[in-house]
Protein backbone atom coordinates (compact mmCIF):
# COMPACT_ATOMS: atom_id res chain seq x y z
CA UNK A 1 0.00 0.00 0.00
CA UNK A 2 1.27 3.44 -0.94
CA UNK A 3 0.90 5.90 1.94
CA UNK A 4 0.18 9.42 0.67
CA UNK A 5 1.40 12.19 3.00
CA UNK A 6 -0.44 15.42 3.77
CA UNK A 7 1.35 18.76 3.49
CA UNK A 8 1.58 18.85 7.30
CA UNK A 9 3.21 15.42 7.34
CA UNK A 10 5.65 16.44 4.61
CA UNK A 11 6.51 19.54 6.67
CA UNK A 12 7.36 17.24 9.62
CA UNK A 13 9.56 15.08 7.41
CA UNK A 14 11.26 18.24 6.13
CA UNK A 15 12.17 19.17 9.70
CA UNK A 16 13.80 15.76 10.14
CA UNK A 17 15.49 16.31 6.79
CA UNK A 18 16.86 19.69 7.81
CA UNK A 19 18.50 18.16 10.89
CA UNK A 20 19.94 15.40 8.71
CA UNK A 21 21.27 17.91 6.17
CA UNK A 22 22.85 20.00 8.93
CA UNK A 23 24.47 16.84 10.28
CA UNK A 24 25.95 16.05 6.84
CA UNK A 25 27.33 19.61 6.60
CA UNK A 26 29.10 19.07 9.94
CA UNK A 27 30.47 15.72 8.76
CA UNK A 28 31.80 17.35 5.58
CA UNK A 29 33.92 19.61 7.79
CA UNK A 30 35.12 16.72 9.98
CA UNK A 31 36.33 14.31 7.29
CA UNK A 32 40.13 14.23 7.10
CA UNK A 33 42.86 11.59 7.04
CA UNK A 34 43.23 10.17 10.56
CA UNK A 35 39.61 10.38 11.73
CA UNK A 36 37.70 7.13 12.30
CA UNK A 37 34.18 6.36 11.16
CA UNK A 38 33.34 5.40 14.75
CA UNK A 39 34.17 8.98 15.78
CA UNK A 40 31.81 10.24 13.07
CA UNK A 41 29.11 7.82 14.29
CA UNK A 42 29.51 9.07 17.88
CA UNK A 43 29.32 12.66 16.65
CA UNK A 44 26.06 11.87 14.82
CA UNK A 45 24.51 10.30 17.93
CA UNK A 46 25.32 13.42 19.95
CA UNK A 47 24.22 15.81 17.19
CA UNK A 48 20.84 14.11 16.85
CA UNK A 49 20.34 14.06 20.62
CA UNK A 50 21.05 17.80 20.81
CA UNK A 51 18.39 18.31 18.12
CA UNK A 52 15.83 16.09 19.92
CA UNK A 53 15.99 13.52 17.14
CA UNK A 54 16.98 9.83 17.13
CA UNK A 55 18.99 7.61 14.75
CA UNK A 56 16.39 5.29 13.22
CA UNK A 57 18.96 2.84 11.85
CA UNK A 58 20.21 1.89 15.33
CA UNK A 59 18.44 -1.35 16.25
CA UNK A 60 16.71 -1.61 12.87
CA UNK A 61 16.70 -5.36 12.15
CA UNK A 62 19.52 -5.49 14.69
CA UNK A 63 21.77 -2.94 12.92
CA UNK A 64 24.14 -1.79 15.71
CA UNK A 65 25.02 1.82 14.78
CA UNK A 66 23.50 5.25 14.11
CA UNK A 67 25.20 5.47 10.71
CA UNK A 68 26.42 3.21 7.96
CA UNK A 69 30.02 4.03 6.98
CA UNK A 70 31.05 2.45 3.70
CA UNK A 71 34.69 2.88 2.65
CA UNK A 72 36.05 2.41 -0.91
CA UNK A 73 34.86 -1.00 -2.19
CA UNK A 74 32.05 -1.16 0.38
CA UNK A 75 28.78 -0.37 -1.38
CA UNK A 76 26.58 0.17 1.69
CA UNK A 77 25.80 -0.95 5.26
CA UNK A 78 29.45 -0.81 6.39
CA UNK A 79 29.95 -0.72 10.17
CA UNK A 80 31.62 2.36 11.67
CA UNK A 81 35.03 1.24 12.93
CA UNK A 82 38.17 2.28 14.80
CA UNK A 83 40.21 2.11 11.60
CA UNK A 84 41.42 5.55 10.51
CA UNK A 85 40.44 6.97 7.15
CA UNK A 86 43.44 7.43 4.84
CA UNK A 87 44.30 10.13 2.31
CA UNK A 88 42.68 9.10 -0.99
CA UNK A 89 39.84 7.04 0.54
CA UNK A 90 36.18 7.69 -0.16
CA UNK A 91 33.54 7.09 2.50
CA UNK A 92 29.74 7.04 2.30
CA UNK A 93 27.90 8.08 5.47
CA UNK A 94 24.22 7.04 5.48
CA UNK A 95 21.67 7.75 8.19
CA UNK A 96 17.93 7.93 8.86
CA UNK A 97 16.76 10.66 11.25
CA UNK A 98 13.59 10.30 13.32
CA UNK A 99 12.03 13.54 14.56
CA UNK A 100 8.73 13.12 16.41
CA UNK A 101 8.02 9.88 14.57
CA UNK A 102 8.67 11.19 11.06
CA UNK A 103 11.73 10.09 9.09
CA UNK A 104 14.25 11.40 6.57
CA UNK A 105 17.01 9.38 4.89
CA UNK A 106 20.17 10.68 3.21
CA UNK A 107 23.58 9.26 2.30
CA UNK A 108 26.59 11.18 0.99
CA UNK A 109 30.02 10.09 -0.25
CA UNK A 110 32.96 12.15 0.98
CA UNK A 111 36.53 12.36 -0.33
CA UNK A 112 39.23 11.91 2.31
CA UNK A 113 42.08 14.29 1.48
CA UNK A 114 43.13 14.04 -2.16
CA UNK A 115 41.42 11.28 -4.15
CA UNK A 116 42.36 9.86 -7.56
CA UNK A 117 40.80 11.19 -10.77
CA UNK A 118 38.96 7.88 -11.07
CA UNK A 119 37.45 8.20 -7.58
CA UNK A 120 36.49 11.80 -8.35
CA UNK A 121 34.78 10.65 -11.56
CA UNK A 122 32.91 7.97 -9.60
CA UNK A 123 31.73 10.51 -7.02
CA UNK A 124 30.78 13.18 -9.59
CA UNK A 125 28.80 10.87 -11.86
CA UNK A 126 27.04 9.20 -8.91
CA UNK A 127 25.99 12.56 -7.45
CA UNK A 128 24.81 13.79 -10.86
CA UNK A 129 22.85 10.56 -11.38
CA UNK A 130 20.90 11.29 -8.18
CA UNK A 131 19.82 14.68 -9.56
CA UNK A 132 19.04 13.15 -12.98
CA UNK A 133 16.69 10.79 -11.11
CA UNK A 134 15.16 13.59 -9.03
CA UNK A 135 14.27 15.49 -12.23
CA UNK A 136 11.97 12.62 -13.14
CA UNK A 137 10.20 12.65 -9.74
CA UNK A 138 7.19 14.60 -11.01
CA UNK A 139 3.45 13.96 -10.86
CA UNK A 140 2.33 11.73 -13.74
CA UNK A 141 5.68 10.06 -14.35
CA UNK A 142 6.21 6.46 -13.25
CA UNK A 143 8.85 5.03 -10.90
CA UNK A 144 10.48 3.43 -13.96
CA UNK A 145 11.19 6.86 -15.42
CA UNK A 146 13.42 7.60 -12.42
CA UNK A 147 15.05 4.17 -12.66
CA UNK A 148 15.73 4.39 -16.37
CA UNK A 149 17.11 7.94 -16.28
CA UNK A 150 19.65 6.96 -13.61
CA UNK A 151 20.74 3.76 -15.35
CA UNK A 152 21.15 5.44 -18.76
CA UNK A 153 23.17 8.28 -17.26
CA UNK A 154 25.39 6.00 -15.15
CA UNK A 155 26.13 3.54 -17.93
CA UNK A 156 26.82 6.29 -20.49
CA UNK A 157 29.59 7.40 -18.10
CA UNK A 158 31.04 3.90 -17.77
CA UNK A 159 29.68 3.06 -14.31
CA UNK A 160 27.48 0.13 -13.25
CA UNK A 161 24.28 0.36 -11.17
CA UNK A 162 23.90 -1.80 -8.05
CA UNK A 163 20.80 -4.02 -8.33
CA UNK A 164 20.50 -5.52 -4.85
CA UNK A 165 19.80 -2.28 -2.96
CA UNK A 166 17.22 0.25 -4.09
CA UNK A 167 15.31 3.34 -3.01
CA UNK A 168 11.97 3.20 -1.25
CA UNK A 169 9.03 5.22 -0.05
CA UNK A 170 9.44 6.53 3.50
CA UNK A 171 7.27 8.16 6.17
CA UNK A 172 6.76 6.88 9.70
CA UNK A 173 8.39 3.65 8.49
CA UNK A 174 11.88 3.56 6.97
CA UNK A 175 10.85 1.28 4.13
CA UNK A 176 7.39 1.76 2.63
CA UNK A 177 6.00 0.92 -0.81
CA UNK A 178 6.78 1.43 -3.60
CA UNK A 179 10.35 0.35 -4.20
CA UNK A 180 12.54 2.65 -6.31
CA UNK A 181 15.12 0.72 -8.38
CA UNK A 182 17.95 2.68 -10.00
CA UNK A 183 17.82 0.59 -13.18
CA UNK A 184 15.12 -0.71 -15.51
CA UNK A 185 12.82 0.25 -18.37
CA UNK A 186 11.00 3.62 -18.54
CA UNK A 187 7.21 4.10 -18.33
CA UNK A 188 6.76 1.14 -15.94
CA UNK A 189 5.83 0.81 -12.29
CA UNK A 190 3.55 2.89 -10.04
CA UNK A 191 2.57 6.35 -11.21
CA UNK A 192 3.91 9.23 -9.10
CA UNK A 193 1.21 11.13 -7.20
CA UNK A 194 1.17 14.26 -5.09
CA UNK A 195 2.05 13.40 -1.49
CA UNK A 196 4.29 10.42 -2.21
CA UNK A 197 7.66 10.63 -0.43
CA UNK A 198 10.49 8.47 -1.73
CA UNK A 199 14.23 8.07 -1.46
CA UNK A 200 16.44 8.04 -4.54
CA UNK A 201 19.81 6.57 -3.60
CA UNK A 202 21.88 5.27 -6.52
CA UNK A 203 24.93 3.17 -5.68
CA UNK A 204 27.28 3.19 -8.68
CA UNK A 205 30.40 1.08 -9.15
CA UNK A 206 33.59 1.48 -11.19
CA UNK A 207 33.51 -2.26 -12.01
CA UNK A 208 30.76 -4.87 -11.94
CA UNK A 209 27.49 -4.35 -10.07
CA UNK A 210 27.64 -7.71 -8.30
CA UNK A 211 28.29 -7.74 -4.59
CA UNK A 212 29.12 -10.00 -1.67
CA UNK A 213 28.18 -9.67 2.00
CA UNK A 214 30.84 -9.88 4.74
CA UNK A 215 30.65 -12.37 7.61
CA UNK A 216 29.08 -9.62 9.79
CA UNK A 217 25.91 -10.13 7.75
CA UNK A 218 25.66 -6.44 6.76
CA UNK A 219 28.71 -5.04 4.95
CA UNK A 220 28.06 -5.16 1.18
CA UNK A 221 31.20 -5.03 -1.00
CA UNK A 222 31.73 -5.04 -4.72
CA UNK A 223 32.44 -8.57 -5.97
CA UNK A 224 35.51 -7.35 -7.89
CA UNK A 225 36.95 -4.99 -5.25
CA UNK A 226 36.43 -1.87 -7.39
CA UNK A 227 35.12 1.21 -5.60
CA UNK A 228 31.52 2.29 -5.12
CA UNK A 229 29.82 5.61 -4.30
CA UNK A 230 26.30 6.60 -3.20
CA UNK A 231 24.25 9.79 -2.87
CA UNK A 232 20.75 9.74 -1.43
CA UNK A 233 18.00 12.27 -0.84
CA UNK A 234 14.46 12.02 0.51
CA UNK A 235 12.06 13.63 -1.97
CA UNK A 236 8.40 14.64 -1.78
CA UNK A 237 6.31 14.62 -4.97
CA UNK A 238 4.46 17.97 -5.04
CA UNK A 239 2.41 20.18 -7.39
CA UNK A 240 5.53 22.31 -7.69
CA UNK A 241 7.77 19.39 -8.68
CA UNK A 242 10.21 17.34 -6.61
CA UNK A 243 10.86 18.80 -3.16
CA UNK A 244 14.18 17.62 -1.70
CA UNK A 245 13.62 17.26 2.06
CA UNK A 246 17.31 16.59 2.82
CA UNK A 247 18.97 19.28 0.72
CA UNK A 248 22.24 20.40 2.34
Contacts with ligand MF3, residue ranges (CB under 6 A): 57, 60-61, 63, 68, 77, 94, 96, 105, 199, 201, 232
Q: State the nearest-atom distance from the C-beta of 159 to ligand MF3, in Å.
A: 19
Q: State the nearest-atom distance from the C-beta of 218 to ligand MF3, in Å.
A: 7
CA geometry: angle at 53 spanning 52 and 58, to 5°? 140
Query: Which of 12, 168 has the CB closer to ligand MF3?
Result: 168
Q: At a CB cut-off of 8 Å and minimum separation 6, what does 141 contact?
A: 191, 192
| Residue 155 burial by Cβ neighbours in a 10 Å radius (0-12, 13-18, 19+) | middle
The listed partner (Co ion, ligand MF3, none) that binds 187, CB under 5 to 8 Å by sort, is none
Query: Which of 73, 176 has the CB closer to ligand MF3?
Result: 176
Q: State the nearest-atom distance from the C-beta of 173 to ligand MF3, in Å.
A: 11
Euclidean distance between CA atoms 203 and 122, whole angstroms: 10
Euclidean distance between CA atoms 52 and 72, whole angstroms: 32
Q: State the nearest-atom distance from the C-beta of 152 to ligand MF3, in Å.
A: 22
Q: Which of 231, 211, 210, 187 lies closest to 93 in space, CA to CA?
A: 231
Residue nearest to ligand MF3 (CB): 57
Strand partners of residue 234: 199
Q: How many residues make contact with Co ion (CB under 5 A)?
A: 3
Euclidean distance between CA atoms 200 and 192, whole angstroms: 13
Q: At a CB cut-off of 8 Å and minimum separation 6, what does 46 contact?
A: none
Helix (H) or strand (E) holding 39: helix 37-50
Query: Which of 72, 106 has the CB closer to Co ion?
Result: 106
Under the binding rule (CB under 5 A), the answer on residue 105 touching Co ion is yes
Under the binding rule (CB under 5 A), the answer on residue 70 touching Co ion is no
Integer distance in angstroms from the first to the last C-alpha of the chain? 30
Query: Which of 175, 191 has the CB closer to Co ion?
Result: 175
The listed partner (ligand MF3, Co ion, none) that binds 145, CB under 5 to 8 Å by sort, is none
Under the binding rule (CB under 5 A), the answer on residue 199 touching Co ion is yes
Query: Which of 77, 221 has the CB closer to ligand MF3?
Result: 77
Residues that bind Co ion (CB under 5 A): 105, 199, 201
Amino acid sequence: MIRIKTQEEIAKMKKAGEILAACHREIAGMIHPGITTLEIDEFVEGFLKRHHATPEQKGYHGYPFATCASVNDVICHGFPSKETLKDGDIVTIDMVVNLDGWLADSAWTYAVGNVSAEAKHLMDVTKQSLYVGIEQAVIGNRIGDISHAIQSFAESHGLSVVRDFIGHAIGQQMHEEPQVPHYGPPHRGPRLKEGMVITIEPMLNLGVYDLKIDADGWTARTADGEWSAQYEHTIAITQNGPLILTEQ
